[in-house]
Structure 1
Amino acid sequence: MGATNVVGGGVVGLASALALARAGHSVTLLEPDSARTAASWGNAGHIATEQVAPLASPAAIRSAPRRLFVRGGALDLPLGQLANWLPFALRLVGRSTPSRFAAGSAALGSLLQEAMPAWERLAATIDAPELLTQDGHLVLWESPETARAGRAAWTAADTGTATFRVADAAELTAIARVTQAPVAGAIRFAGSGQIRDLSVLAGALEEAFLRAGGRIVRARAQLRIIDGVALVPGHPAELVLVAAGIGSRALMEATGHAAPMIAERGYHIRAAADRWPADLPPLVFEDRSMIVTRYGDRVQAASFVELSSPDAPPDPRKWERLEAHVRALGLPITGPFRRWMGSRPTLPDYLPAIGRSPRANNLLYAFGHQHLGLTLAPITAELVAALVTGERPPVDLAPFDLARF
């Protein structure tokens, strides 16, 4: 099989590069960032099989005003970034009709039902099954009103292969050990999971890729289409896969494709996990739109949906609010905190783009996974491999074709 360039070394790009290398391709992975600052390596580590409903929905549009950052919520639309987020927001509203939401839920659900089995296969492939846990997660509310509304919303939601029940006495006791806040209600999900350590995952994927004959080049790639053939100047190859997260927009638009993606920026703080239980699954404080996860000897609190440019300076108020949440909840997390901000690559319908370019038959793409990049990376890699080999993919890829824009 011929030479292949994979542009992008986040979790989707790495998993896809590994799948192609194991299929016999001579794969070069082009990724300039050796510090692993992308969203792939700073997210909540949650395998979110329950998040079947795209955020492009009538409910999300209705609730947006009360979820704004200026009102204490997690959604921020910075006025200084109006030119970036307004066109995206208008497209989002157009993709949030009931019929489009139903179609989007069906499409996303078809991917998510394959997500955990694909993770099991990938974890075994990289000889790191211990990185994947399938212990579910906990969701809690701090007031009776939000507990009733939250339980009702989850009961009405399509959670795919994930299920939930009311938290039992032992689980409530475990929650009480880490927060001084009142817990008016909590539920325990089953069928979701967690990656124990994202840094270890990144290293394991890279090592497995190199063992499979792959090559990593720390360089920024450009993309051109000449006479119907996709080229990465300076890196000749017969096949090109664009899986560069938020950077995929510029690459694809340079070749005439529409990729109306925005940087949906999230923030986290991390500190030593000296007093955080090692066996506690991810804990979601839904009233605060915050998830707390333990990674090895560190514990992380993450939140926020900030629609912006990926290159805009971070907003320190987000970190300050996370630290205020930690104090208000009485969580056993103390500084000094390490602060991080990353850009989730999000398309207006909250579906990823996975497919083959009509402009160049040798150009494939896999990006735009919004909050679900970690969750969907292994199944996306398997779909990319199927596209390349001509096998029938296990999921209908029509809803993820970039031509929909």
Structure 2
Amino acid sequence: MKNSSHPSRATALVIGGGLVGLCAALQLQRAGCIVTVLEPQEKPQGASWGNAGHIAVEQVQPLASLATIRSAWGRMHPRGALGLPAAQIGTWGPFALRLMRASTPARFAAGTAALSALLAEAMPAWKRTSWIIGAAHLLREDGHFVAWESAASAARGRAFWTGTDIGTASVRDASADELAAIRDLARGAQIAGAVRFAGSGQMTDLVALADALRAALAADGGAIRHGQAEGIALEGDQAIVRLGAETLRADQIVLCAGAASAELLQPMGARIPLIAERGYHIQSPTSRWPQDMPPVAFEDRSMIVTRFAGGLRAASFVEFAARAAPPDPTKWAKLRAHVIELGLPFDLPGKPWMGARPTLPDYLPAIGRSARARNLLYAFGHQHLGLTLAAITGELVAALATGKPSPIDLAPFDPARFGGTT
């Protein structure tokens, strides 16, 4: 994709128009590249746009842990948030074995250190990015709440969060007024306790954020092309992208295709154990939920509720399945039941959504340069932290592409950590 009008400028092709892809494109353009984003959907509906809007800087401990393995059975009860469909065991079974191997104390400690380094830069990077694109008003830095419905779960939850590593965030007991406000919104339940985090944040309007990123890209000459990449192949030591009968080339190709990323790498022989970790939400267009109320996680139900400019969203579930498998309607039914039981100000049934988070067995993203193709960069596998880490990932990709020193050690995020040459 050389540009004859700017022969001296490097070209960059970003595969995937989610938040990670758009942030990478923005930073590559600021670094001097001529950028094209390849996005299969005119109105993307992926995990970038279906999340809870929560900038989760406190999530420094990878979910690949002995604690996660020990709690898995309990999370599969009828009200639990973990889904392992029997029909999909061929998909999640091998992944589960890799997750267990990645959950040793040594790997958990190394993963915590690696995620901590990334998450420490997440909010500063979003401040820089939101200012660049004229969207600073969309970024709120007023933390979030975690609430419990029994004295026992409140005691356990409070002990966990006050005694665990939460990176740059801090946590305290909710004040009497804050607890009263949560109880007023959850009138159908007995809220026994809550804590408030500081240092975390929220994007208040994901649609407006996407529009601002796309507008900033277009204003400086970037392009968004709609088309479904069919695969990435090798041409000597360079990566090329197949798009129907067309072959796309660029000085730098950045793979940010979320849960589809591993499939796109298969033509060049790279095997990466990425799984679609599917999440569900329902959204009500209207609500009496206060606009200034931060996100509230009802931890007993593994559900987070967030007020956006477009309405109130209740999100939950970790379902391991093939990316293209049909959604499970019972998940939306469970969310509606939670909303009713909590007595939330939510107009049911709510608009349903399901999307796939791209997850690797150690719950660390893949950020780095391919050893097979020197023009291919990786930026995928951000699991639950795609929104949180999008801005800093974009900055890291631009540093890699231009040969500048990385402010963060990227060795822990090299996809070659799973064996083989990638």
**Interval of TM-score (by shorter of Structure 1 and Structure 2):** over 0.9
Q: Cα gap change, 1:7/1:297 in structure 2, threshold over 3 Å: closer, same or farther? A: closer
Alignment match, 1:137: 144
Is 2:284–2:351's contact at 8 Å kept on the other side of the alignment?
yes
Q: Alignment partner for residue 76 of structure 1, among 64, 83, 86?
A: 83
Q: 2:167 aligns with which of 154, 160, 175?
A: 160
Q: Equivalent of 1:331, from 326, 344, 347?
A: 344
Q: What corresponds to 2:113 in structure 1?
A: 106
1:116-160 alpha-carbon deviations (Å, 9 max, x no partner): 000000000101100100000000000011011111111222100
- Aligned-residue offset at 1:71: 3.6
- Measured in 2, the distance between the counterparts of 1:212 and 1:285 equals 43
Partner of residue 284, structure 1? 297
1:32–1:219: 8 Å Cα contact kept in structure 2? yes
Residue in 2 that maps onto 1:311: 324
How far the C-alpha of 1:355 sits from its partner, in A, is 0.2
Between the aligned partners of 2:347 and 2:11, the Cα distance in structure 1 is: 49
Deviations 1:90-116 (CA, angstroms, capped at 9, x unpaired): 000000011110000000000000000
User: By how many angstroms is 1:255 displaced?
Assistant: 1.5
Residue of 359, 363, 367 corresponding to 1:354: 367
Alignment partner of 1:252 is 2:259: no
Out of 222, 226, 230, the residue aligned to residue 218 of structure 1 is 226
Q: Is 1:11–2:24 an aligned residue pair?
A: no
Aligned residues: 404
Q: Distance in 2 between matches of 1:394 and 1:213?
A: 27
Q: Match of 2:395, as an amino acid?
A: E
Q: Cα distance, 1:235 vs. partner?
A: 2.2
Taking the aligned partners of 2:301 and 2:255, their CA distance within structure 1 comes to 35
Q: Separation in 2 of the partners of 1:238 and 1:49?
A: 33
Cα separation, 2, equivalents of 1:49 and 1:274? 27
Match of 1:175 in 2: 182
SS at match of 2:73: helix
Residue 2 of structure 1 corresponds to 10
Q: Is 1:63 aligned with 2:76? A: no
User: SS where residue 278 of structure 1 aligns?
Assistant: coil
Contact 2:24 2:393 in 1 (8 A): yes
Measured in 2, the distance between the counterparts of 1:307 and 1:274 equals 31
Q: What residue is the counterpart of 1:40 in the other structure?
A: 48
Q: Is the 8 A contact 1:347 1:370 kept in 2?
A: yes
Distance 2:98 2:220 in 1: 41
Q: Which residue of 1 aligns with 2:241?
A: 232
Q: Match for 2:264: what amino acid?
A: L
Measured in 1, the distance between the counterparts of 2:349 and 2:110 equals 45
Aligned-pair CA distance for 1:335? 2.2
- Compare 214-223 and 321-330 and name the one that shifted more: 214-223
Instruction: Name the aligned partner's letter for residue 95 of structure 1.
Output: A
TM-superposed CA distance for 1:238, in Å, is 1.7
Q: What is the CA distance between 1:272 and its match in structure 2?
A: 2.3
Shift of 1:336: 4.1
In the alignment, the residues of structure 2 paired with residue 277 and residue 215 of structure 1 have an alpha-carbon distance, to the nearest angstrom, of: 38
Aligned-partner Cα distance in 1 for 2:36–2:310: 33
The one-letter code of the counterpart of 2:91 is N
Distance 1:235 1:289, change over 3 A: same
1:117 to 124, 136, 161: 124
Identity of aligned residues (%): 58
Q: CA RMSD in A?
A: 0.9
Query: Paired residue for 2:30?
Result: 22
Distance 1:259 1:98 in 2: 23
Structure 1 unaligned residues grouped into runs of 5+: none
Contact 2:102 / 2:108 at 8 angstroms: preserved in 1?
yes
The Cα offsets for residues 31-79 of structure 1, whole Å up to 9 and x where unpaired, read as: 01122210000100000000000000011111111011x4421001000
Question: In the alignment, what sits opposite 2:399?
Answer: 386
The answer on whether the counterparts of 1:265 and 1:342 sit within 8 Å (CA) in structure 2 is yes
Partner SS, residue 108 of structure 1: helix
Comparing 329-338 with 128-137, which one deviates more in the overlay?
329-338
- Aligned equivalents of 2:371 and 2:287: distance in 1? 53
User: Could you tell me which of 282, 300, 309 is aligned with 1:296?
Assistant: 309
Contact 2:79–2:334 at 8 Å: present in 1 too?
no
**8 Å contact from structure 2 (residues 58, 166) kept in 1:** yes
CA contact (8 A) 2:396 2:406 kept: yes
User: Structure 1 residues 27 and 169, CA, compared in 2 at 3 Å: closer, same or farther?
Assistant: same
Q: Is the 8 A contact 1:41 1:198 kept in 2?
A: yes
